[in-house]
Structure 1
Amino acid sequence: MKSLFLKIVLIFAVLGSLGANKSDNNTFVATKEWQEIKEGQKIPPGLHVRINLTTLKKEAKLLENNDSEESNKSENHALSALPEEAISTSSPSDAKSPTKSKTKHLLSDALKRAPRDALAVEHSPQAFQKIKKDYKMIKETYDEMRKHFKTDAEIITKIVQNVVNVTTQDSYVMEPEHKIKWKMDALNNLYHMVDQIDNGVLFVQIGGLEKVLLPIIVNETDTTLRVQALRVLGTLTQNNPKTKIAAFENNVGEHLSRILMTSNDADELSAGVFAFGTFIRRFPIAQERILSTSGSQALIDVLKKECELKIKAKVVTIISDLVVERRLLTELSTENYTESKLFGWLSANSFCETIETLIPSNILELLEQSDIMEDFVEVMENTYTLCNPQWPRNSRLFHTLTTLYTSYLRTQDEHKLEISERLKSLIPKVFDNGIMRDEL
């Protein structure tokens, strides 16, 4: 710190010397000894300049040979700026030495006598008062803002309470369009919050599932509200075992199956498939209960509907994922959750017949959308053993797959080339004992 202060003082001294009165033609004549620089004198370049901290006068002398060494400049300037009695060769760690104490006293005294403007430090009481006033204002503003800060738990609890009050109490009178907008705002806020595991668990614990979501999903007549409620449900049960269990206990699977079987609205079907998939994945008990009854039929019904192909791709992705899950459980000797059970449910609802019709009838769209075709290739790879009696003899399916393979192979699109490789491997597996052998 001492050395730094001395450097600062020296810089101001040099600047001051350069800004001396230009009208005076007197030039400072340097020698090897320190000499005082008179007011208005010009200082030739190449001199060693200092401020004597005892007299506070500017002094200069000729540079000596050892002064030109770069590594010693700072130390030489610092030592030359001190009186001789302030220079000590004692150890820096010897804080109690008389020499160090005297040095500290001299520096402190020099600081007191140094011109305030030379140090560029503002000591104005008015400035300090302004700083204090600004700080107080900022603190008051922050404290006021903190009164309005709410945690996620507080917000979720408030939303649930408000929805329940508006729904159940006659004192809350709203126009229908206002009530729809108000509920939509509540669902939008929940959608962005319940994806966090702790928030989702809290939402279920305070009754949000049965008091907010299910009444809208089951009884609401406005489609936009039902769609958003389904999206919130899907987010709520995604990778959250506790919310999955709560949904299972509230018969969510049956409600979702009914929506998939009865709805023809594209947005509602898409949101319903999303919620169904997040709820049933990695949940074997729910799979047993739902897929063995209406769940499998609901999934196959979506594949038969007149709806967007990307919605159907979501369905086959769910089926493919469930097959893989069951296969892993079978390998773990979990007899209650075998792959064969799932195959039985799918077969009972005409899965194989639906797929062998669906792919050829959408060949033009599949030629362009390789990402959707990838989902169908995936499900065929995982279920071709189930559909072995039907698919190998279906010439239309065979020609569709070979056409897709050839078309993808001729492009420069990396993803389509990747799908063509998978089709090259899939086609012999599916048709080796059927139409492929007959045509060869």
Structure 2
Amino acid sequence: MSHRAGLLSAAAAAAARVNLLLLLLAVLFSCSSLSDGVPEFALTKIEEGDIKDESGKEPLPEDDADPEDLEVFYPTHQWQTIRPGQAVPAGSHVRLNLQTGEREAKLPESEDGRSETREERRRKRLGKVDVDANSFTSQELKKALAKMKESEKAERKAREEEVRKKFRPIEQLKEEFEKLNVKMETDYEIMVQLISKFNSSASTLADKVAALYDLEYYVHQVDNAKDFLSMGGLQLVIEGLNSTEATLKEHAAFVLGAALSSNPKVQIEALEGGALQKLLVILATEQPLPVKKKALFALSSMLRHFPYAQQQFLKLGGLQVLRSLFRQKGMQTLHVRVVTLLYDLIMEKLLLEGSPQEEQAAEKLHQYEQVRLVPAVVEQDWCAAVSALLGAPEHDTREKALKTVSVLMAFCGERYRRDPALGTALSLLRSEYEQLAAQEQSEGDTDGYFSELLGSVNTVIQQLR
């Protein structure tokens, strides 16, 4: 019995050892399965604060370690021990070796059972990039990064140099502007300087003429003309009409006409300053044609839309002065200007009479009633002087004459009907403009200039019947 009991005891002990071995294998298999199921992740730093490296020294704390100095773990198809501080690439299989207590890693298996190479995994993530990371050390990677930074710096410097060639630096521009001594001046300041230059006894004739030439540009603006009046420039220019120098009188009249245009305040001041009398003297006496042109321009600017000035013009015999220009030699270019002025003055009153009678318009119409322009035109035989311009070679002169004849028809109708020369001139004009208008229409211009002139001729002919 004792021998049998010993055998049973030995068998039980052997069975216990086998069970312990099976339990240990199960634990190992479970740990290996868990390590194979670890998901892919970015570079993983092994934190083993209590594990020493091969030299027996404790690794640096995580805060003191330089991230660029971390050693990268390069997995293979075999399990390898991960040293402290190494970074494990994403996708690697990691496990804990229970026998040694160390962490191990290797490359993952591919779908066909073989281990995926580093190149295959990198191709999956990066496409066509064929860089083998195993061929570079951390120092080589640092050098490559430094070269990339140097290359980027060189490219940026090249771009800056290219921009610098196209554009001058702001410092250089500032220096150039300082050398030019650029200073912005207002129109008022410029006119003050020009008036001072014109009025200075030290200025030459050329200086005075240049000052007047520049002033004419500025006084075209209504506000500038008012400033010109307030600073005494208008009276200086009016006095310049008395100059013995023809060129000075010419430019003084030019500035005066520019300042008077559509500026009632300046018109009143000029009339009270004696400008009307001085202009009529220039037109009535022997003067060069350019001087009389500018004087007629100034006179027209003063009379338009200013009935009181028109009334004074008639009292001073201004209409006779203009009529004398038709008898002077070399003044043909002024004839159409005079006729245009008469047409404008007559039409002003006619248009005002046909407009609604507002309070302001009624007052102005009362002023125009004091202007007896049309009776003076008929009395001084302006009817014949105007119709004679129909024989001029210029189409512009004919146009102005046709319009004025049509306006004067109500006052000169009997005179025109007894004038055979007028009928002949109108017949010739109609024949000429019929041909020119037909040529315009053949070219596709149905409302051309010559068609309008033909209409004016037919209107006058119709009025004579």
The TM-score, its normalising length taken from structure 1, stands at 0.64
Q: Mapping of 1:260-299 within 5 angstroms?
A: 260-299=283-322
Distance 1:38 1:370, change over 3 A: same
Distance 1:326 1:304, change over 3 A: farther
Distance 1:143 1:239, change over 3 A: farther
Q: CA offset at residue 373 of structure 1?
A: 0.5
Distance 1:117 1:259, change over 3 A: same
SS at match of 1:410: helix
Distance in 1 (CA, whole Å) between partners of 2:196 and 2:209 is 15
Distance in 1 (CA, whole Å) between partners of 2:456 and 2:165 is 73
Distance in 2 (CA, whole Å) between partners of 1:254 and 1:316 is 21
Show CA shifts across 1:312-342 (max 9, x none): 1111111111111111233345233139822
CA contact (8 A) 2:293 2:334 kept: yes
Aligned AA (1:422): S
Asked if 1:400 is matched to 2:425, the reply is yes
Distance in 2 (CA, whole Å) between partners of 1:339 and 1:372 is 30
Distance in 2 (CA, whole Å) between partners of 1:388 and 1:330 is 21
Distance in 2 (CA, whole Å) between partners of 1:125 and 1:379 is 72
> Structure 1 unaligned runs (5+)?
1-27, 40-54, 59-109, 167-171, 433-440
Task: Using CA pairs under 8 Å that are at least 6 residues apart, name the structure with larger relative contact order, 1 or 2.
Answer: 1
CA contact (8 A) 2:403 2:456 kept: no
Q: Mapping of 1:346-357 within 5 angstroms?
A: 346-356=377-387
Distance 1:125 1:323, change over 3 A: closer
Q: CA offset at residue 147 of structure 1?
A: 5.5
Counterpart in 1 of 2:217? 192
Q: CA offset at residue 272 of structure 1?
A: 1.6
Aligned AA (2:200): N
Aligned AA (2:375): G
Show CA shifts across 1:21-63 (max 9, x none): xxxxxxx998333275449xxxxxxxxxxxxxxx8999xxxxx
Counterpart in 2 of 1:423? 457
Asked if 1:159 is matched to 2:194, the reply is yes
Counterpart in 1 of 2:324? 301
Show CA shifts across 1:191-224 (max 9, x none): 221111222111111111212x122212x22222
CA contact (8 A) 2:307 2:371 kept: no
Counterpart in 1 of 2:173? 138
> Structure 2 unaligned runs (5+)?
1-118, 133-140, 441-447
SS at match of 1:304: coil
Distance in 2 (CA, whole Å) between partners of 1:128 and 1:309 is 64
Distance in 2 (CA, whole Å) between partners of 1:392 and 1:247 is 42
Q: CA offset at residue 165 of structure 1?
A: 2.6
Counterpart in 1 of 2:389? 359
Distance in 1 (CA, whole Å) between partners of 2:164 and 2:429 is 79
Question: Number of residue pairs matched?
Answer: 319
Asked if 1:328 is matched to 2:346, the reply is no
The TM-score, its normalising length taken from structure 2, stands at 0.61
Counterpart in 1 of 2:255? 232
Match 1:121 to one of 156, 181, 195? 156
Distance 1:194 1:416, change over 3 A: same
Distance in 2 (CA, whole Å) between partners of 1:288 and 1:231 is 23
Counterpart in 1 of 2:233? 208
SS at match of 1:195: coil
Asked if 1:217 is matched to 2:309, the reply is no
Distance in 2 (CA, whole Å) between partners of 1:242 and 1:235 is 13
Which segments of structure 1 move beyond 6 Å, counting only runs of 4 or more? Answer: 55-58, 123-131
Asked if 1:251 is matched to 2:259, the reply is no
Counterpart in 2 of 1:31? 123
Q: Mapping of 1:5-154 within 5 angstroms?
A: 31-34=123-126, 37-38=130-131, 115-118=149-152, 120-122=155-157, 134-143=169-178, 145=180, 148-154=183-189
CA contact (8 A) 1:303 1:315 kept: no
Q: CA offset at residue 152 of structure 1?
A: 1.7
CA RMSD of aligned residues (A): 3.6
Counterpart in 2 of 1:43? none
CA contact (8 A) 1:259 1:269 kept: yes
Counterpart in 2 of 1:22? none
Give the share of equivalent positions with the same residue, in percent. 22
